[in-house]
Amino acid sequence: MSNKYKDILRRYWGYEDFRGIQKDIIESIGSGHDTLGLMPTGGGKSITFQVPAMAQEGICIIITPLIALMKDQVHSLRRRGIKATCVNSGMTRSEIVTALENCILGGYKFLYISPERIGTQLFQTKLRHMHVNFITVDEAHCISQWGYDFRPSYLDIAEIRRIAPDAPVLALTASATPEVVEDIQLQLNFRETKVCRMSFERKNLIYIVRPADDKLREMVHILQSVQGSAIVYTRNRQQTQELAEYLINEGITATNYHAGLPQVKKDERQQAWQRNQYRVMVATNAFGMGIDKPDVRVVLHFEIPDSPEAYFQEAGRAGRDGETAYAVLLYDSRDCTKLLRRVGETYPEPDYIRKVYQDMCCYLEMAMGDGTNVTREFDLQDFCRRFRHFPVQAHSALLLLDKTGIIQFTEDEEITSRLMFSIGRDELYQLRERTEVQERIIHVLLRRYVGLFSEFAYIDEHVLAQETGLDYGTVYMALKEMAHSGILHYIPRKRTNYITFVTRRIESDEITLPREVYVDRRKQYERRIASMIQYVTDKDKCHSQFLLAYFGERDTDKCGRCDICIGDNILQKTEDEIREAVLRQLQNGPVAAPDMDYTSFNRNQFAKVVHEMVRHEEIALDQDQRFVLPSIS
C-alpha cells in the first residue's frame, strides 16, 4: 500500500522517503478516514495532502486563508506537471468561473480556495459537479471559537461536507491546544476521532526571555551577536517604521511591514527581505503567515504577544532549515501591566460597546429603523476624533459588534483604482496637446479596457506601467494630469474601512452580547494573557517545555539550551568567543587591525570587543599601532 505513495513522492517531488508522521497522515486520509494532522511549522504538511490526492481519482479541495501560499503552491505543482488552480477574493467573477469549470472537466487535481469563497452560491453550485477525492482544511484551528484566530467563514466548511458527503476531511494545523483539537473535529463533523500528532518540539530553536529596560539597545545587541536573517515583531504599525530606522542608523539593513501598507509595498518589501536585500524585517503580526524563508536566524519580539499560540507561531518562523536559531522575547518592568490592560482594551465593557454603536450610527447619519444592508465607508480616526473615543477600544467595540451580527466591519479593504474618459472618442482623437507619455497610456487604456467612454472601469496602474514601458510613478502622475485637464476621471486606489448594517439601526440597549461572543471569549483571552505572563516571569520552567505543555504535550525533555536551562549568558558567549579568537591571533606576535581575522563574527561586534579589550588592558597597542598581548613586566 505505502509503496504506491512512496513512488508518487519520488516521481513528482524527488524525495527519498516520508518524514515524521507524513506517512501516518497519508495512509489515514488515503483510506478515507477523517483525519486531524498536528505538525509544527516546517513539518512538511503540503506533502500530506498532495501525495494521497495524486494517488486517487478526482480533485482535492484545499481551504486556506493564505493567498500567498496558494499562489506559491499552485505554481510549484504546475512546475511538476500537475494541474492545479486557485480561487480567491482578488479574482474577477469570470476568472473564478473559468477556474471552477476547469475543476469539473479539465482533469485538475488541486483546487485552492479561500474560506470567504466557500459560502458563495457560485462555488457551491459548481462543487456539486466536481468529483472530490477529499477536502483539506489548512490552518484548521481557525474553525474553533476557542482558538486564538477564529474565522467565522470557516464554519461554512460544514456546508461543503453536506454537498460532498463522500469526501473525507483532512484538517491540518500547527497550533492547537487540547480543547481546540477536540473542537476542530466536532466543528468539521468528523465521523470518527483520528489525530496524528507530531511533537511541536523545535530542537534547533533556542528560546530566550530577556528583561531589558533599554529594549532598543538590547535589540541591536542581539542582532549584532547573531548573524543572519531576522524578524522583529512589534504591535504598533508606527513603531515598525521607527524600529527599522533605528536599526538602519546602527548599520543594520532593515525594512518594515504592516497591514496598512499598500499591497504593492508589502509585496516589494517582503520579496526584498526574502532575497536578503534587507537583513531585518520589522513587522506587526500581519507579517508571516505562509512565509517560507528557511534561514531566519532570529525572531525577536519587542512586545509580549497576547497568546502563547501567537508567540509560538511567530517564533516558529525562525530556523525552518533545521539550523540553530533564536526566539528572543524582550520585556521591561511595565510590560506585564500593559499586557493585562489589553483585556479591557480588547473586550471593553458592554455599555461602552453600546455607546460606540450609537455614536457610529450618528456619525454615519443612520436614522433609527433604517440601514438594513446599507454599506458605508468608515474613517475610524475621524470618528474617534469627533466622538472622543480611544482608537484601540473603539476598534475592539466594532469588532465585537461585528461578531454579534448586527453590523459587518471590514477593515483596510484595498479598492482598486477606477477610470473613465470624460470626453468622447472623437474628441480624444482630435486632442492636440498630448504628450508622448499620455499618448502611450491612452493607447494601452483603449486596447486593454472596454467601455471606458461610457462607464468607470477598474484599472491596474501596474499593468499600464508594464505595457507602456513606463514606471509606476510616471503612469500615476500622467493619469492625475489628464484628470486635472478634464480628459478623464481617475479615482486612485485607496485603503478604507467599511461598515455594513446587517440589520436596521436599533436602540443601543437592544444590543445583546451573546455569551459565546463576549463573556466566554473574554475569559479565554484572560487565560492566554495569564499564560504569557507566566511564560515571561517563570524562572524555573524550561521555555520549550512550557510551550509544549501549553499545547498538551507532557513529559517532554528540557531543551537544555534556553536561558532557563543554561543560565542567562547565551549571547554573552559570542563575546567570549571573540575574546578568545583575539587572544589566539595575538599569541604569535603583533597583528595590525586590517589583518585581524574576524570572518566568523559580526564586524561591528568584533570591533567593539577589541575596543573593550584595549580599554581593559587585556590587549595593548605597540608603537606601530598593532595589537599585542600586554607585556608582563
Applying CB under 6 A, which part among 23-31, 39-47, 556-564, 597-605 lies near ligand ADP? 39-47
Distance CA 529, CA 307 (A): 6
Q: Is 274 exposed, middle or buried (0-12, 13-18, 19+ CB in 10 A)?
A: middle
Q: Which residues between 74 and 103 bind ligand ADP (CB under 6 A)?
A: none
Using rule CB under 6 A, residue 45 touches ligand ADP: yes
Q: Specify which residues 61 forms β-bridges with.
A: 111, 135
Q: How far is CA 625 from CA 581, 583, 604, in A?
A: 19, 17, 19
Q: Among residues 82 and 483, whose Cβ is nearest to ligand ADP?
A: 82
Applying CB under 6 A, which part among 11-19, 83-91, 548-556, 604-612 lies near ligand ADP? 11-19
Using rule CB under 6 A, residue 12 touches ligand ADP: no
CB of 139 to ligand ADP, least distance (A): 10
Among 448, 500, 484, 472, CA closest to 262: 472
Residue type, position 486, single letter: G
Applying CB under 6 A, which part among 13-21, 177-185, 497-505, 609-617 lies near ligand ADP? 13-21
Angle CA 74–77–83, to nearest 5: 85
Choice from 179, 245, 292, 295 touching ligand ADP (CB under 6 A): 292
Using rule CB under 6 A, residue 47 touches ligand ADP: yes
The DSSP line for 539-604 is SSS-HHHHHHHHTT--SPPP-S-SHHHH-S-HHHHHHHHHHHHHHHHHTTS-EEGGG---TTS-HH
Give the full edge-to-edge strand order of the sheet including 494-501.
Answer: 375-378, 494-501, 407-415
The DSSP line for 399-428 is HHHHHHTSEEEEEEEEEPPEEEESS-HHHH
Distance CA 606, CA 608 (A): 5
Torsion angles phi and psi, residue 34, rounded to 5: -60, 135
Q: Among residues 37 and 371, whose Cβ is nearest to ligand ADP?
A: 37
Distance CA 182, CA 184 (A): 6
Using rule CB under 6 A, residue 46 touches ligand ADP: yes
Using rule CB under 6 A, residue 41 touches ligand ADP: yes
Q: Is 515 exposed, middle or buried (0-12, 13-18, 19+ CB in 10 A)?
A: exposed
Angle CA 201–202–203, to nearest 5: 105
Using rule CB under 6 A, residue 44 touches ligand ADP: yes
Applying CB under 6 A, which part among 16-24, 396-404, 471-479, 502-510 lies near ligand ADP? 16-24
Using rule CB under 6 A, residue 15 touches ligand ADP: yes
Q: Among residues 288 and 371, whose Cβ is nearest to ligand ADP?
A: 288
Choice from 11, 19, 131, 385 touching ligand ADP (CB under 6 A): 19
Using rule CB under 6 A, residue 23 touches ligand ADP: no
CB of 160 to ligand ADP, least distance (A): 22
Applying CB under 6 A, which part among 15-23, 265-273, 333-341, 345-353 lies near ligand ADP? 15-23
Q: Among residues 317 and 389, whose Cβ is nearest to ligand ADP?
A: 317
Q: Among residues 38 and 581, whose Cβ is nearest to ligand ADP?
A: 38
Choice from 39, 247, 559, 578 touching ligand ADP (CB under 6 A): 39
Q: Among residues 24 and 526, whose Cβ is nearest to ligand ADP?
A: 24
Residues binding ligand ADP (CB under 6 A): 15, 18-19, 22, 39, 41-47, 292
